[in-house]
Amino acid sequence: MEDDHRLRDAQRGIPLGLAPRGFRGRIASIEVGEGGHGLTAIELERRLLELGFVEGATVEILHEGPLGRDPIAVRLIDATVAVRRREAMAVYVT
Amino acid sequence: MTTAIMTVTRHLALVGTPNSGKTALFNALTGGRQKVANYPGVTVERKAGAIDTPGGRRINLIDLPGTYSLRGRSPDEEITRDVVLGRLASEPPPDLLLCVADATNPRVALRLAIELKKVGRPLLLVLNMIDIARRRGIDIDLEKLSAELAVPVVTSVAVRRGGTAELLQHVDELLVEELATKGNNTWSPPSNSELRAAQREADRILRIAVGMPKRPETLTGRLDAVLLHPVGGLLILLLLLFVMFQAVFAWARPLMDVISTAFEALGGIAHDLLPEGLLQSFVRNGVISGVGNVVVFVPQILILFLFILLLEDLGYMARAAFLMDRIMGGAGLHGRAFIPLLSSFACAIPGIMATRVIDNRRDRLTTILVAPLMTCSARIPVYTLIISAFIPDKQVWGIVGLQGLVMFGLYAAGILSALGVSFIANHFFWRDNATPPFMLELPDYKLPKLRSVAIGVYVRAMMFLKRAGTTIFSMMVLIWFLASFPRPPAGTTEPAISYSLAAMIGGWIEPLLAPIGFNWQISVALVPGMAAREVAVAALGTVYAIEGGKEAAEQIGTALASKWSLATALALLVWYIFAPQCASTLAVIKRETGSWRWMAITFTYMVALAYVAAFITYNVSLALGAG
């Protein structure tokens, strides 16, 4: 069981919202946690999908906002997208 | 081809994601032949224009609000969905959908095209900005793309003359076959797994049909390293805002003076041509000064929208929002609210019109609500009049002039109250509504196309003149009426205004305003002062029977200094920070929000704020011995 968890965490990766500037990776999953977004989990996931955040896409954090390193500018395949770190917590990257 | 085909107007709709270059394409296709209005019952802007195709067809092209999907989560997106599906009663169902994609970055637009296929209407994918894509070495196999997507594909260059010829030719061909290809509508709101699947399908097609260059474009990256730098980026933004503020505030001044002088001269002509009396007063003070009051705002609106559209087309606007998001967000304002609010320092009217850059309705309304609290230039004559008459011209702490300090305090009070009101609105007013997330694309930088910007500026100015202008004008005539009727009896020595309805209203509100230290003269002057804040200066002059209007400001100041207490003067200053003493602003709020409700809310909260603040100021000043 313990190993299962660890294996799953390794596959799942870290939330993009915690990644530093310069981070490069690939989206492992989109999993919206509960609360605090002002949107339902399904709606937030939908908006991320609509912007092009899907599993397998490459990401790189290019820039950070001047206050609290927020929001972040993310290179998403060939587009650049700005999101707040709070919303980027739902994007797991490896 | 029969003449029947030639005379039938075909309806085309432009659909696309934000930043797809949809507006530039629309401007290129329709030129100046566009009409901007609102959809019935909602405040969503309806942009349509006429095109004549090379095949002799008359086309009515409608530019739908940008959307990532047909889901319709905002009023704008609902319009897009309903027009595309042919559900909107006021809009004929489109004969052909044009899905616009940025050829340099077609990924998300391709998913939208896959969704649009389900609608069952003829669809054409337009790869716009193909010139930039080719220059960057992006290799698009149009045949493969069209085959995989099962949708005809055409390229266009919206910013070059003739760049849309191929597109129009294709449209002609499709409209010939059109009747045969109309399918069934199988669209339903996509679930998240359907969205995922559609994006994966789009990505698959892109891998087959589009070859990305090995060395990606770097100019945007290099510019962003400076423009999005946490310190440098903010400094550049501040510098840019300073220039913009200067432009709206100072550059517009000479033009505005020319317009004012011209209308005054026109008033002078009316004075000379018409016999003394009611007709002369109506033409001069009602019609001419009413029209003048509308036209005088045009230079500011032109300059402001020139800046906004240039920055928008350049791709900088999204960056500015990125930099300001957290800073504005603390007070519950959207990152994009800073331009409208900054412009409101010059005048709330272009400021409120500029809130169109904010997509989210809730953020936009909050910004409109607080914009009139910014110290606009019309308050300056009132402030300087009272400050120079009542505040001693002395230095405090050795270096700072007391008068300047008071002026600064008035500006600061406006800003702080705006932040406070938006904070309160967000925490109490909008509680049932969710905080919208900040998510937006940062498009690659592009050189703005002047023609497209010019069309945009022109459309805004015309819209202001037609839509806001009519309301402002009628309010001006109403205020003239209040200040002129009934006429004074013959041979009176009192100023004419003391016999008017304005004086009656002033008399009614005087008991209400007495607790904040206003005498009946102030109460009467506040009525014509609704025309514009600076009019109150001339109105006070009229009430105190000082001839010469604005030029006599100094004289008025001296008169006031002998007739008012310091407490009254301070209370009036504070009143002017908050009070909605501007019919034009209220008219624009009504026009921009499409409802009397928001105008009433703004009016009420500002009056309440002004009253409470002036009451406190008056009574504290009295207690401190300023009576």
Cis peptide before A71 (omega within 30 of 0): yes
Cα of B248 to nearest chain A Cα, Å? 27
Classify A55 as helix, strand or coil.
coil
Residues of B with Cβ-Cβ distance to A62 under 8 angstroms: 221, 224, 228
Calpha distance B466→B469 (Å, rounded): 5
Complex ipTM:
0.89
Number of CB atoms found within 10 A of residue B44's CB: 18
Which residues, numbered 217 to 256 in chain B, qualify as contacts with chain A under a Cβ-Cβ cut-off of 8 Å?
220-221, 224, 228, 230-231, 233-234
Other C-beta atoms closer than 10 Å to the C-beta of B202 total 24
Contacts of B325 in chain A (CB under 8 A): 65, 70-71, 82, 84
Which of A52, A66, A84 lies at the smallest CB-CB distance from B438?
A: A84
* C-alpha distance from B350 to closest chain A C-alpha (Å): 28
pLDDT of residue B98: 95
Q: A75: nearest CA in chain B?
A: B442
Q: Which two tokens stand for residue B551?
A: 């030029």
What average pLDDT does range B562-575 have in this prediction? 92
Model confidence at B549: pLDDT above 50: no
Q: State residue B452's pLDDT score.
A: 84
- Indicate the range of A48-62, B87-101, B431-445, B515-529 predicted with least confidence: B431-445
How does the average pLDDT of chain A come out, rounded? 85
Chain A positions touching B109 (Cβ under 8 A) are none
pLDDT of residue B41: 62
A60 close contact with B: CB closer than 8 A: no
- Tell me which of A35 and B71 has the higher pLDDT: B71
Domain map (residue ranges) of chain B: 3-217, 232-378+404-433+449-467, 470-623
The pLDDT tens digits of the residues spanning B131-186 come to 888 888 899 999 999 999 999 999 998 777 778 888 998 888 888 765 555 678 88
Q: Which of B221, B434, B437 sits opposite A87 (nearest CB)?
A: B437
Of B107, B325, B439, the CB nearest to A47: B439
Query: Do B437 and A47 lie within an 8 Å CB cutoff?
Result: yes
Alpha helices (H) in chain A, listed in sequence order: 2-12, 41-51, 85-88
The upper half-sphere exposure of residue B150, i.e. CA atoms within 13 Å in the direction of its Cβ, equals 8
| Reported confidence tier of residue B66, pLDDT bands at 50, 70, 90 | confident
Give me the pLDDT at residue A6, please.
Answer: 55
Confidence of residue A10 (pLDDT cuts 50, 70, 90): low
pLDDT of residue B431: 60
CA–CA gap between residue B63 and residue B110 (Å, rounded): 18
What is the pLDDT averaged over residues B576-583?
Answer: 89
DSSP character string of B12-44: EEEEE-TTSSHHHHHHHHHTT-EEEEE-TTS--
Among A29, A40, A48, A54, the strongest candidate for a mutation testing the B interface, having the largest count of B CBs within 10 A, is A54
Location of structure tokens 């004419």: B496
Read off the pTM.
Answer: 0.80
**Between residues B21 and A12, which one has the greater pLDDT?**
B21
Task: For residue B545, give both structure tokens.
Answer: 């029977």
Edge-to-edge strand ranges of the sheet holding B58-63: B34-38, B45-52, B58-63, B9-16, B96-102, B123-128, B153-155
Between CA B428 and CA B290 the distance in angstroms is: 39
Selected for mutation to probe chain B from A69, A80, A84, A85 (highest B CB count within 10 Å) is A80
Name the CATH superfamily housing domain B3-217.
P-loop containing nucleotide triphosphate hydrolases (3.40.50.300)
Percent of chain B at pLDDT exceeding 70? 92
Q: Mean pLDDT of all residues in chain B?
A: 84
Per-residue pLDDT at A2 exceeds 60: no
Distances (CA, A) of B486 to B54, B480, B483, B543, B578: 63, 11, 8, 16, 31
Kindly indicate whether the domain formed by A2-93 is annotated with CATH number 2.40.240.20: no
Q: What is the pLDDT of residue B3?
A: 47
Listed by start position, the domains of chain A span 2-93
Query: Could you read off the pLDDT of B298-316 as tens digits, one per residue?
Result: 888 888 889 888 988 898 9
| Longest CA span, chain B | 91
CA nearest to B189 within chain A = A46
